[in-house]
């Protein structure tokens, strides 16, 4: 039976470590400030943003949510971004994705000041990640690396397979795993014989967006399995991309949904915000 990786406990520990840095900042008169721009009515986005807001309230981080209507123009969103770029109380901010389809997401992202880009999605920060230089790292991939390390399994030299090639998770995670000296394979919708490729993995990450798609036939016995999916099944029950019951019988370590990657993602967002505020001291 797989050991369950407790993402909530790992996130609590990371947040406890951050509290010291936040009180150091307070002694310099700095309260870290985070803002989220939320455009439109995507129900999942509203839940994620609520969770981000709640996390800040428990941490002495100033937080603000700017809600904008679905029909907001790209220019209106860019104006908000530019206001936040100039706002000295806000050390970091993000634009919750997805944006409505009439908006060019990349154009909006490109407007964010890289020093305030706590998502790490700006091309300059993604470039730093590619080059192995310091800078904010996208929160979900950073949280996944942290969770893998909590198992005590060494990443260096291992076969890591990432299923999904999104700009938010799959691609930046592949770069981070490479930085940790794993041998990395990225799979996607055109990958042939996915189960056979996945079965090579000592570390398997599922970021697909399909409820319970990963069965035990995809998993090498003893592997570390990280489930990034947040889906609703046919009974409207929250579930991941991994069939938890089935895979838990062969995996060595497995993250649950909820209580796995999600809480760790938020902890990493808070960390990026505190680091952005600390940069003000340098
Ligand atoms: N939508 C889903 N995940 C994310 C994320 O990590 N950041 C942003 N901005 N939007 C998201």
Q: Compute the average pLDDT of residues 162-169.
A: 98
* Count of positions (residues) in the chain: 282
Q: Compute the average pLDDT of residues 144-167.
A: 98
Q: Cis peptide before 148, with omega less than 30 degrees from 0?
A: no
Confidence of residue 86 (pLDDT cuts 50, 70, 90): very high
Q: Which pLDDT does position 58 carry in this prediction?
A: 85
For ligand 1, whether the C-beta of 268 sits within 6 Å is no
Query: In the predicted model, is pLDDT for residue 3 greater than 90?
Result: yes
CA–CA dist 19, 231 (Å, integer): 32
Query: In the predicted model, is pLDDT for residue 129 greater than 80?
Result: yes
Query: In the predicted model, is pLDDT for residue 282 greater than 80?
Result: no
Q: Which residues pair with 227 in a beta bridge?
A: 206
For ligand 1, whether the C-beta of 169 sits within 6 Å is no
Q: Which pLDDT does position 221 carry in this prediction?
A: 98
Mean residue pLDDT of the chain comes to: 97
pLDDT digits 0-9 by tens, 180-214? 999 999 999 999 999 999 999 999 999 999 999 99
Query: In the predicted model, is pLDDT for residue 57 greater than 90?
Result: no
Q: Compute the average pLDDT of residues 222-227.
A: 99
The catalytic position among 15, 52, 80, 171 is: 52
DSSP string, 83-138: HHHH-TT-SEEEE-SPPPTTS-HHHHHHHS-GGGBTT--SHHHHHHHHHT-SS---
Q: Which pLDDT does position 66 carry in this prediction?
A: 98
Confidence of residue 98 (pLDDT cuts 50, 70, 90): very high
CA–CA dist 166, 170 (Å, integer): 5
The catalytic position among 15, 80, 119, 243 is: 119
Q: Is 119 a catalytic residue?
A: yes
Q: What is the pTM of this model?
A: 0.97
Q: Give the strand pairing for 224-227 and 238-239.
A: unpaired
Burial status of residue 23 (CB atoms within 10 A of its CB: 0-12, 13-18, 19 or more): exposed
Quote the distance between the C-alpha of residue 163 and its chain's center.
15
Q: Which pLDDT does position 281 carry in this prediction?
A: 81
Atom index in ligand 1 nearest the CA of residue 98 equals: 1
CA–CA dist 180, 165 (Å, integer): 19
Q: Is 210 a catalytic residue?
A: no
For ligand 1, whether the C-beta of 39 sits within 6 Å is no
Confidence of residue 70 (pLDDT cuts 50, 70, 90): very high
Q: Compute the average pLDDT of residues 152-178.
A: 98
Q: Compute the average pLDDT of residues 266-282.
A: 94
Query: What residues contact 279, with CB distance under 8 A and at least 6 apart?
Result: 91, 115
Q: Which pLDDT does position 162 carry in this prediction?
A: 99
């Amino acid at each position: 039976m797989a050991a369950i990786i407790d993402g909530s406990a790992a996130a609590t520990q990371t947040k406890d470590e951050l509290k010291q840095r936040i009180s150091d900042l307070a002694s310099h008169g700095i309260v870290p400030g985070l803002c989220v721009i939320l455009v439109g009515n995507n129900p999942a986005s509203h839940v994620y943003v609520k969770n981000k807001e709640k996390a800040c309230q428990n941490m002495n981080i100033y937080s603000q949510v700017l809600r904008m209507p679905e029909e907001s123009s790209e220019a209106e969103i860019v104006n908000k971004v530019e206001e936040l770029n100039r706002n000295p109380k806000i050390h970091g901010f993000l634009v919750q994705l997805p944006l409505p389809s009439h908006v060019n997401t990349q154009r909006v992202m490109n407007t964010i000041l890289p020093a305030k880009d706590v998502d790490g999605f700006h091309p300059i920060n993604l470039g730093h990640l590619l080059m192995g230089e310091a800078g904010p790292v996208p929160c979900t991939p950073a949280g996944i690396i942290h969770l893998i390390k909590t198992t005590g399994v060494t990443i260096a030299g291992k076969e890591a397979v990432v299923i999904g090639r999104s700009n938010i998770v799959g691609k930046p995670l592949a770069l981070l795993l490479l930085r940790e000296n794993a041998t990395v394979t990225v799979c996607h919708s055109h990958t042939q014989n996915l189960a056979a490729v996945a079965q090579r993995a000592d570390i398997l990450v599922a970021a697909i967006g399909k409820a319970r798609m990963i069965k035990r036939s995809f998993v090498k016995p003893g592997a570390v399995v990280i489930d990034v999916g947040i889906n609703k099944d046919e009974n409207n029950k929250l579930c991941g991309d991994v069939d938890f019951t089935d895979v838990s019988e062969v995996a060595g370590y497995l993250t649950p949904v909820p209580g796995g990657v999600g809480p760790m993602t938020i902890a990493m967002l808070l960390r990026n915000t505190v680091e952005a505020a600390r940069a003000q001291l340098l």
